[in-house]
Amino acid sequence: MSTKTDILEAAMHVFAERGFRGGTVREICERAGANVAAVNYHFHDKSSLYAEVLQHAYRNAGAGEAMPTLADAPDQPEKQLAAWIHWYVRRLLHSDGTPVGRLMARELADPTEALDHLARGAVQPVFSELGRLVAAVAGGGLDDRRLKLQCITIVGQCLVFHSGRAMLQRLEPPHFTSDDAEEIARHITAGAIRACDPTPLESRR
């Protein structure tokens, strides 16, 4: 039974590094110290192995800190929103352990049928909680579309530091690494809270 889990672990890293097509079963098996035929014996084929890798990765992803929610402190929505953004940024940048972030990015660039299950099961709850937090900070001053827009742009600001990392590193400095997660989170939080302020743009001076 050790061989099967070894292959699963090795496949997770190989698929995260090289993608589904780029990752070869030979590299997976070599990394797992197993024979080439082991993949087809323990899993039916390469595709089934990939599906199990995704499930395994997402199941073990929430092993870290718990997501901050509005219910934790209903009277301090701004503090909870800040905590949520900090949690999300740290989750994205501190990819110690399972490289679930890279697997996710690859799924977005090249969606398979596994993305539907992932969206409903793992992403929607996180997104819904962000919606509750933003709505609470805004105090009901946002309609559905503006609320959704605000949530998407918050997530986008966090995501770009991970998904766009390869590009950002090739542009001119200053650069931002995982050590700057707190600075990044503070910046995004400040912008998000200001955006929830119902004051019109023209009267801010």
Partner DNA sequence: GCCTGTTTGAAACGGATGTTTGCATCCAGA
Partner DNA sequence: TCTGGATGCAAACATCCGTTTCAAACAGGC
Binding site for DNA (CB under 7 A): 1-4, 23-27, 34-42, 45-47
Quote the CA–CA distance of 84 and 76 in Å, as a whole number. 12
Name the token pair of 161.
Answer: 């530091």
* Burial category of 63 from C-beta neighbours within 10 Å (exposed 0-12, middle 13-18, buried 19 and up): exposed
Question: By CB under 8 A, is residue 155 in contact with a second copy?
Answer: yes
Question: Which partner in DNA, a second copy, none is near 39 (CB below 5 to 8 A by kind)?
Answer: DNA
Nearer residue to DNA within complex by CB, 45 or 182: 45
> Does residue 68 contact residue 89 with C-beta atoms inside 8 Å?
no
Question: By CB under 8 A, is residue 113 in contact with a second copy?
Answer: no
Among positions 62-101, residues that touch a second copy (CB under 8 A) are: none
Among positions 161-200, residues that touch a second copy (CB under 8 A) are: 161, 163-164, 166-168, 170-172, 174, 176, 183-184, 187-188, 190-191, 193-195, 197, 199
Nearer residue to a second copy within complex by CB, 66 or 204: 204
The residue from 116, 139, 177, 182 that contacts a second copy (CB under 8 A) is: 116
Choose the stretch contacting a second copy; rule: CB under 8 A; options: 1-9, 29-37, 48-56, 152-160: 152-160
**Eight-state DSSP code of residue 122:** I
Nearer residue to a second copy within complex by CB, 44 or 117: 117
Choose the stretch contacting a second copy; rule: CB under 8 A; options: 42-50, 53-61, 90-98, 147-155: 147-155
CB of 99 to DNA, least distance (A): 19
Cα of 88 vs its chain's centroid, Å: 8
Nearer residue to DNA within complex by CB, 26 or 120: 26
Cα of 58 vs its chain's centroid, Å: 10
CB of 133 to a second copy, least distance (A): 16
